[in-house]
Structure 1
Amino acid sequence: MTVNDDSFTNWKNREEIAESMIPIIGKLHRERDVTVLLHSRSLVNKSVVSILKTHRFARQIAGEELSVTETLPFLEALTTLDLGPSQIDLGMLAATYRADDRGLSIADFTAEAVAGATGANKIECREGRDVVLYGFGRIGRLVARLLIEKAGSGNGLRLRAIVVRGGGEQDIIKRASLLRRDSIHGQFQGTITVDEANSTIVANGNEIKVIYANDPSEVDYTAYGIKNAILIDNTGKWRDREGLSKHLRPGVDKVVLTAPGKGDVPNIVHGVNHDMIKPDEQILSCASCTTNAIVPPLKAMDDEYGVLRGHVETVHSFTNDQNLLDNYHKSERRGRSAPLNMVITETGAASAVAKALPDLQAKITGSSIRVPVPDVSIAILNLQLARETSREEVLDYLRDVSLTSPLKRQIDFTSAPDAVSNDFIGSRHASIVDAGATKVDGDNAILYLWYDNEFGYSCQVIRVVQYVSGVEYPTYPAPVA
């Protein structure tokens, strides 16, 4: 047998193992509301090849490839436990087991590592929480995809309705088609049908009512059986408390804005300040995509090195706010053709840092350039630190943050030497540290942070909604604080 034959045989064996993992992962998710992760990446509803690629990706951040032969025993051990709703990271289980010198069996180690999610400690499945989307544009449709994907056992978030302005003949069919196919993010993973007579879109069995209204005051959500709902405003039309309060109608309990909030509206970056949300707070903002991209690594750097001052320059993909061709726009430069120009514009992300990180004393400035790509942006964070360090130390620290810290769902890490923006379409992290581009000279550090300004941001929105709804389940093994 040749070396190539050996490699192919090994691949087929790993395919078989990954294939055996799929029904276990699916059953845990459907029946126990357990989400199986691998280094913060969900394995639910993933194909054989996706599972193998996710294992291989660990090589970039952990330094060595993780094999399905190593993680399968941990997954099998989970099936023997009385698990409650939770997120369990096989990558972390394998890593902590390797570092443990007590000689425990995998079964005993796993039972100990996830003890907080078993037996008398486990969280009972909660009644699902209704969600309404107000607006159905780029972020609205991606949030819809995520809500449908995460419906799982039916005990979590339930997308009940979408509120839009009437768009004329076959409006609902056109909106369903935009949900079904996306030029950037690809096909919807599942099936979508339309019931025009009842103004309903059915996506993977989820019945979603399409409500037509020109103003929040026109809608009584209880008429559709919606109660105690979280409404996600994707329009950005109202950004202060007075305007967003219009959504607090019968059937709606809380309002989450997918744009920077103004005035006293809390700006929340999940992973950084979400635990500061007051239980009785009815209106909050998820800030901007760029704020979500820079605040987690900024917090991480301040925690370890101290940050005296900083500047963020964002190279941002164009958005719907810009014109395809030169035309009138209320902003001077944004009226120029987005696909044909680099456009200097402003960003409020730097000033928004103060709301998300009030303890940060450093002055942060910022500016932005819109460029002719449809998705994925990069933030260049230039920091003066409180102490000198080295490039190797910073990269080791940020790699560890991405793997084991409470910010591991927000900060990702890549050492791929040929990484470009398209590689990060679909990233679920708020930002990805590019190791190859990182520069450190004494007390000056320059971080290059990729972020999918559409999908990564939408994932952050969902995390905030899960938190305020009470269906954000704990992760095991617990991240290192």
Structure 2
Amino acid sequence: MTVNDDSFTNWKNREEIAESMIPIIGKLHRERDVTVLLHSRSLVNKSVVSILKTHRFARQIAGEELSVTETLPFLQALTALDLGPSQIDIGMLAATYKSDDRGLSVAEFTAEAVAGATGANKLEGGAGRDVVLYGFGRIGRLVARLLIEKAGSGNGLRLRAIVVRGGGEADLVKRASLLRRDSIHGQFQGTITVDEESSTIFANGNAIKVIYASDPSEVDYTAYGIKDAILIDNTGKWRDREGLSKHLRPGIDKVVLTAPGKGDVPNIVHGVNHDTIKPDEQILSCASCTTNAIVPPLKAMDDEYGVLRGHVETVHSFTNDQNLLDNYHKADRRGRSAPLNMVITETGAASAVAKALPDLKAPITGSSIRVPVPDVSIAILSLRLGRETSREEVLDYLREVSLHSPLKRQIDFTTAPDAVSMDFVGSRHASIVDAGATKVDGDNAILYLWYDNEFGYSCQVIRVVQHVSGVEYPTYPAPAV
């Protein structure tokens, strides 16, 4: 047998193993509300090839490829446990098992590592929490996709309704079509049907009522059976507490804004300051996509090296706020054609850092250039550090943060030598450290941080909503603090 034959046989064997993992992962998700992860990447509803690619991607952050032959025994061990709702990272289980020298079996080690999610310790699934989307644009539709994807056993977040302004004939069909197909993020993973008579979109069995209203005051959500819901405002029309309070109608308990909040509205970056949300807080903001991209690595660098000052320059994809062709715009430069020009503009991300990281005393400045790409941006974070270091030390540290720290869901890491923006469409992390572009000279460090300003940000929004709803399930093995 030739080397090529050996390689092909090995691939077919791994395909067979990955195929056997799919029903186990699906059953754990449907019946026990357990999400199986591999180095923070969900394996739920993934194809055979996607599972194999996710295992191979581990080499980017762990230094070597992870094989399905290594992770399958841990997945099988989970099926024998009395698990409650949780997220379990079989990549981390495999990695920590390798370094454990106690001679435990895979089953014994797994039972110990996830003990907090089993038996008397396990969470009991509740009745779920209603969610309403106010607005159904770029972020609204991606958040809808994520809510539908995460419906699981039905005990978590439940997308009950979306509120939009009336759009005329065939409005419902057109909105369902935009949910079904996306020029950047591809096809919706599942089935979508429309019942125009009841003004309902059915997505993977989830009945989503479409409510037409031009103002929050027009809606009584209890009339649709909605109660104690979290409303996600995707319009950005209201940014302060007074404006957002209009949403606190019958049936709505909390309001989450998908834009930077003004005044005393808390700006939350999940992974950094979500634990500061007061239980009785009814109105909060998820800040901006760029704030979410820079704050986690900024916190990581400050924790390890200290940050004396910094500047962030974002090279940002164009958005709906800009004009397709030259036309009047109330803001400077944004009236010029977005797909034809680089457009210098402002960013509020630098000033928003203070809200998310109040203990960071370093002054942070920022500016932005909008460029003719439809999605994925890059933040160039230039930092003056509290001590001298080296490029190798910084990269080793950030790789470790992306793998094992409490920020591993926010910070990803790539060593790909030819990475470009389109490679990060669909990334679920707040930002991705580009190792190849990183510059360090003494106490100066420049980090290049890719981020899917649509999908990655939407994932951060969902994490905040899960947290305030009480359905943010713990992850095992627990990340190092």
What band does the TM-score fall into relative to the shorter chain? Answer: over 0.9
User: 3-state DSSP class of the match of 1:145?
Assistant: helix
Aligned to 1:383: 383
Q: CA deviation at 1:468?
A: 0.2
User: 3-state DSSP class of the match of 1:187?
Assistant: coil
2:20 matches 1:24: no
Aligned to 1:40: 40
C-alpha separation in 2, matches of 1:84 and 1:183: 38
Q: CA deviation at 1:391?
A: 0.2
User: 3-state DSSP class of the match of 2:308?
Assistant: strand
Aligned to 2:405: 405
User: 3-state DSSP class of the match of 2:56?
Assistant: helix
User: 3-state DSSP class of the match of 1:14?
Assistant: helix
C-alpha separation in 1, matches of 2:123 and 2:417: 43
Residues 57-98 of structure 1 deviation map (CA, whole Å, 9 limit, x = unaligned): 000110000000000000000000000000000110001000
C-alpha separation in 1, matches of 2:85 and 2:198: 34
Q: CA deviation at 1:453?
A: 0.1
C-alpha separation in 2, matches of 1:333 and 1:424: 27
Q: CA deviation at 1:126?
A: 1.5
User: 3-state DSSP class of the match of 2:382?
Assistant: strand
Q: CA deviation at 1:137?
A: 0.2
Aligned to 2:474: 474
C-alpha separation in 1, matches of 2:167 and 2:118: 50
Equivalent residue runs for 1:270-289 within 5 Å? 270-289=270-289
C-alpha separation in 2, matches of 1:159 and 1:117: 26
Residues 30-59 of structure 1 deviation map (CA, whole Å, 9 limit, x = unaligned): 000000000000000000000000000000
Q: CA deviation at 1:109?
A: 0.3
If the length of structure 1 is used for normalisation, what is the TM-score?
A: 1.00
User: 3-state DSSP class of the match of 2:161?
Assistant: strand
User: 3-state DSSP class of the match of 1:197?
Assistant: coil
Q: CA deviation at 1:293?
A: 0.1
* Corresponding pairs, count: 481
C-alpha separation in 1, matches of 2:432 and 2:126: 33
Residues 309-368 of structure 1 deviation map (CA, whole Å, 9 limit, x = unaligned): 000000000000000100000012000000000000000000000000000010000000
2:138 matches 1:138: yes
2:463 matches 1:448: no
C-alpha separation in 2, matches of 1:147 and 1:335: 34
Residues 240-285 of structure 1 deviation map (CA, whole Å, 9 limit, x = unaligned): 0000000000000000000000000000000000000000000000
Residues 195-232 of structure 1 deviation map (CA, whole Å, 9 limit, x = unaligned): 00000000000000000000000000000000000000
Q: CA deviation at 1:393?
A: 0.3
C-alpha separation in 2, matches of 1:95 and 1:391: 25
Aligned to 1:88: 88
Q: CA deviation at 1:386?
A: 0.2
C-alpha separation in 1, matches of 2:445 and 2:94: 32
C-alpha separation in 2, matches of 1:373 and 1:386: 36
Q: CA deviation at 1:159?
A: 0.2
C-alpha separation in 2, matches of 1:161 and 1:391: 49
User: 3-state DSSP class of the match of 1:186?
Assistant: coil
C-alpha separation in 1, matches of 2:137 and 2:12: 42
Residues 86-118 of structure 1 deviation map (CA, whole Å, 9 limit, x = unaligned): 000011000100010111100000000000000
C-alpha separation in 1, matches of 2:404 and 2:373: 33
User: 3-state DSSP class of the match of 2:369?
Assistant: strand
Q: Percent identity?
A: 92
Q: CA deviation at 1:178?
A: 0.2
C-alpha separation in 2, matches of 1:455 and 1:126: 28
Q: CA deviation at 1:442?
A: 0.3
Q: CA deviation at 1:2?
A: 1.1
Moved more, 179-188 or 119-128: 119-128
Aligned to 2:204: 204
User: 3-state DSSP class of the match of 2:400?
Assistant: helix
Residues 156-203 of structure 1 deviation map (CA, whole Å, 9 limit, x = unaligned): 000000000000000000000000000000000000000000000000
Q: CA deviation at 1:371?
A: 0.1
C-alpha separation in 2, matches of 1:356 and 1:429: 17
C-alpha separation in 1, matches of 2:97 and 2:478: 13
Residues 395-441 of structure 1 deviation map (CA, whole Å, 9 limit, x = unaligned): 00000000000000000000000000000000000000000000000
User: 3-state DSSP class of the match of 1:87?
Assistant: strand
Equivalent residue runs for 1:42-441 within 5 Å? 42-441=42-441
User: 3-state DSSP class of the match of 2:108?
Assistant: helix
Residues 5-42 of structure 1 deviation map (CA, whole Å, 9 limit, x = unaligned): 11000000000000000000000000000000000000
Q: CA deviation at 1:127?
A: 1.4
Moved more, 271-280 or 119-128: 119-128
C-alpha separation in 1, matches of 2:31 and 2:207: 21
Q: CA deviation at 1:138?
A: 0.1
C-alpha separation in 1, matches of 2:442 and 2:247: 50
C-alpha separation in 1, matches of 2:30 and 2:401: 31
C-alpha separation in 2, matches of 1:334 and 1:426: 26
C-alpha separation in 2, matches of 1:176 and 1:106: 46
User: 3-state DSSP class of the match of 1:351?
Assistant: helix
User: 3-state DSSP class of the match of 1:175?
Assistant: helix
C-alpha separation in 2, matches of 1:37 and 1:126: 22
C-alpha separation in 2, matches of 1:251 and 1:298: 38
User: 3-state DSSP class of the match of 1:295?
Assistant: helix
User: 3-state DSSP class of the match of 2:197?
Assistant: helix
Q: Which runs of 4+ in 1 moved over 6 A?
A: none
